[in-house]
Structure 1
Protein backbone atom coordinates (compact mmCIF):
# COMPACT_ATOMS: atom_id res chain seq x y z
CA UNK A 1 0.00 0.00 0.00
CA UNK A 2 1.43 3.40 -0.93
CA UNK A 3 2.08 6.15 1.61
CA UNK A 4 -0.86 8.35 0.57
CA UNK A 5 -3.30 5.46 0.97
CA UNK A 6 -1.82 4.56 4.36
CA UNK A 7 -2.14 8.20 5.42
CA UNK A 8 -5.76 8.48 4.25
CA UNK A 9 -6.62 5.27 6.13
CA UNK A 10 -4.87 6.53 9.27
CA UNK A 11 -6.86 9.79 9.12
CA UNK A 12 -10.09 7.76 9.00
CA UNK A 13 -8.92 5.46 11.81
CA UNK A 14 -7.91 8.42 14.00
CA UNK A 15 -11.58 9.38 14.18
CA UNK A 16 -12.66 5.96 15.46
CA UNK A 17 -10.10 5.27 18.20
CA UNK A 18 -11.43 3.37 21.21
CA UNK A 19 -10.22 6.05 23.63
CA UNK A 20 -9.86 9.78 23.14
CA UNK A 21 -6.13 10.63 23.10
CA UNK A 22 -4.66 13.13 25.54
CA UNK A 23 -4.43 16.78 24.53
CA UNK A 24 -0.70 16.32 23.92
CA UNK A 25 -1.34 13.45 21.50
CA UNK A 26 -4.15 15.39 19.82
CA UNK A 27 -1.72 18.26 19.22
CA UNK A 28 0.78 15.80 17.70
CA UNK A 29 -1.90 14.40 15.41
CA UNK A 30 -3.03 17.89 14.41
CA UNK A 31 0.45 19.20 13.71
CA UNK A 32 1.52 16.11 11.75
CA UNK A 33 -1.70 16.25 9.72
CA UNK A 34 -1.21 19.93 8.89
CA UNK A 35 2.46 19.40 7.99
CA UNK A 36 1.55 16.39 5.84
CA UNK A 37 -1.25 18.16 3.98
CA UNK A 38 -0.10 21.81 3.83
CA UNK A 39 3.63 21.86 4.54
CA UNK A 40 5.30 24.40 6.80
CA UNK A 41 3.16 26.72 8.93
CA UNK A 42 3.12 30.33 7.85
CA UNK A 43 2.38 33.54 9.69
CA UNK A 44 2.47 34.30 13.38
CA UNK A 45 -0.58 32.31 14.36
CA UNK A 46 -3.91 33.56 15.67
CA UNK A 47 -4.52 37.29 16.11
CA UNK A 48 -6.44 36.79 19.35
CA UNK A 49 -3.86 36.43 22.15
CA UNK A 50 -6.50 34.75 24.34
CA UNK A 51 -7.24 31.95 21.87
CA UNK A 52 -4.97 29.53 23.67
CA UNK A 53 -6.11 26.46 21.75
CA UNK A 54 -5.40 28.03 18.36
CA UNK A 55 -2.05 29.31 19.65
CA UNK A 56 -1.08 25.83 20.90
CA UNK A 57 -2.07 24.28 17.57
CA UNK A 58 -0.09 26.82 15.58
CA UNK A 59 2.97 26.43 17.83
CA UNK A 60 2.86 22.63 17.54
CA UNK A 61 2.62 22.87 13.75
CA UNK A 62 5.40 25.50 13.59
CA UNK A 63 7.74 23.17 15.49
CA UNK A 64 7.62 20.79 12.52
CA UNK A 65 8.95 23.41 10.10
CA UNK A 66 11.31 21.82 7.58
CA UNK A 67 9.91 18.30 8.02
CA UNK A 68 8.93 16.88 4.63
CA UNK A 69 5.30 16.09 3.95
CA UNK A 70 6.15 12.42 3.37
CA UNK A 71 7.94 12.11 6.71
CA UNK A 72 5.00 13.80 8.44
CA UNK A 73 2.65 11.29 6.80
CA UNK A 74 4.83 8.37 7.94
CA UNK A 75 4.91 9.69 11.50
CA UNK A 76 1.15 10.29 11.49
CA UNK A 77 0.49 6.71 10.31
CA UNK A 78 2.87 5.32 12.95
CA UNK A 79 1.23 7.37 15.73
CA UNK A 80 -2.29 6.28 14.78
CA UNK A 81 -1.16 2.63 14.60
CA UNK A 82 0.37 3.00 18.06
CA UNK A 83 -2.87 4.47 19.42
CA UNK A 84 -4.93 1.63 17.95
CA UNK A 85 -3.01 -0.99 19.96
Structure 2
Protein backbone atom coordinates (compact mmCIF):
# COMPACT_ATOMS: atom_id res chain seq x y z
CA UNK A 1 0.00 0.00 0.00
CA UNK A 2 1.28 3.46 -0.78
CA UNK A 3 0.88 6.66 1.23
CA UNK A 4 -1.87 8.19 -0.93
CA UNK A 5 -3.95 5.00 -0.79
CA UNK A 6 -3.59 4.90 3.01
CA UNK A 7 -4.71 8.55 3.22
CA UNK A 8 -7.80 7.92 1.11
CA UNK A 9 -8.73 4.79 3.04
CA UNK A 10 -8.22 6.54 6.39
CA UNK A 11 -10.56 9.35 5.25
CA UNK A 12 -13.17 6.70 4.42
CA UNK A 13 -13.21 5.06 7.86
CA UNK A 14 -16.79 4.18 8.79
CA UNK A 15 -16.24 5.32 12.39
CA UNK A 16 -14.26 8.33 13.62
CA UNK A 17 -11.04 7.48 15.47
CA UNK A 18 -10.55 8.89 18.96
CA UNK A 19 -9.01 12.36 19.21
CA UNK A 20 -5.68 10.81 20.24
CA UNK A 21 -5.73 8.44 17.24
CA UNK A 22 -6.76 11.28 14.91
CA UNK A 23 -3.79 13.35 16.14
CA UNK A 24 -1.48 10.41 15.41
CA UNK A 25 -2.67 10.46 11.78
CA UNK A 26 -2.59 14.25 11.60
CA UNK A 27 0.99 14.61 12.84
CA UNK A 28 2.31 11.97 10.48
CA UNK A 29 0.34 13.39 7.54
CA UNK A 30 1.74 16.89 8.09
CA UNK A 31 5.28 15.55 8.50
CA UNK A 32 4.84 13.44 5.33
CA UNK A 33 3.57 16.28 3.20
CA UNK A 34 5.28 19.40 4.60
CA UNK A 35 8.19 18.24 6.75
CA UNK A 36 9.13 19.76 10.09
CA UNK A 37 6.62 22.10 11.68
CA UNK A 38 6.97 25.53 10.04
CA UNK A 39 4.47 27.67 11.94
CA UNK A 40 4.39 29.15 15.43
CA UNK A 41 2.64 27.17 18.16
CA UNK A 42 -0.90 28.53 18.65
CA UNK A 43 -1.71 30.56 21.73
CA UNK A 44 -2.99 29.27 25.06
CA UNK A 45 -6.67 29.64 24.16
CA UNK A 46 -6.47 27.55 20.98
CA UNK A 47 -6.51 24.10 22.57
CA UNK A 48 -7.32 22.24 19.35
CA UNK A 49 -4.64 24.12 17.41
CA UNK A 50 -2.04 23.44 20.09
CA UNK A 51 -2.88 19.72 20.15
CA UNK A 52 -2.52 19.52 16.37
CA UNK A 53 0.75 21.50 16.44
CA UNK A 54 2.14 19.24 19.19
CA UNK A 55 1.13 16.10 17.26
CA UNK A 56 3.00 17.40 14.21
CA UNK A 57 6.03 18.64 16.15
CA UNK A 58 6.37 15.21 17.82
CA UNK A 59 7.67 13.91 14.46
CA UNK A 60 10.24 16.67 13.94
CA UNK A 61 13.33 15.39 12.15
CA UNK A 62 11.56 12.42 10.56
CA UNK A 63 12.12 12.33 6.81
CA UNK A 64 9.08 12.53 4.56
CA UNK A 65 9.64 8.89 3.48
CA UNK A 66 9.90 7.70 7.09
CA UNK A 67 6.77 9.67 8.02
CA UNK A 68 4.86 8.15 5.10
CA UNK A 69 5.89 4.63 6.18
CA UNK A 70 4.80 5.43 9.74
CA UNK A 71 1.45 6.77 8.45
CA UNK A 72 0.85 3.56 6.50
CA UNK A 73 1.71 1.49 9.59
CA UNK A 74 -0.68 3.62 11.66
CA UNK A 75 -3.41 3.08 9.08
CA UNK A 76 -2.82 -0.68 9.14
CA UNK A 77 -2.95 -0.63 12.95
CA UNK A 78 -6.37 1.10 13.08
CA UNK A 79 -8.00 -0.21 9.89
CA UNK A 80 -9.44 -3.35 11.52
CA UNK A 81 -11.12 -1.15 14.14
CA UNK A 82 -12.50 1.61 11.86
CA UNK A 83 -12.59 0.50 8.21
> Which residue number in structure 1 is paired with residue 3 of structure 2?
7
CA contact (8 A) 1:17 1:83 kept: no
- Stretches of structure 2 that go unaligned for 5 or more consecutive residues are none
How much does 1:78 deviate?
1.1
Measured on the aligned residues, the alpha-carbon RMSD in Å equals 1.3
Taking structure 2 as the reference length, the TM-score comes to 0.88
Structure 1 residue ranges, 4+ long, deviating more than 6 angstroms after superposition = none
When the two structures are aligned, how many residues end up with a matched partner?
Answer: 80
Structure 1: gaps (5+ residues):
none
What TM-score do the two structures reach when normalised by structure 1?
Answer: 0.86
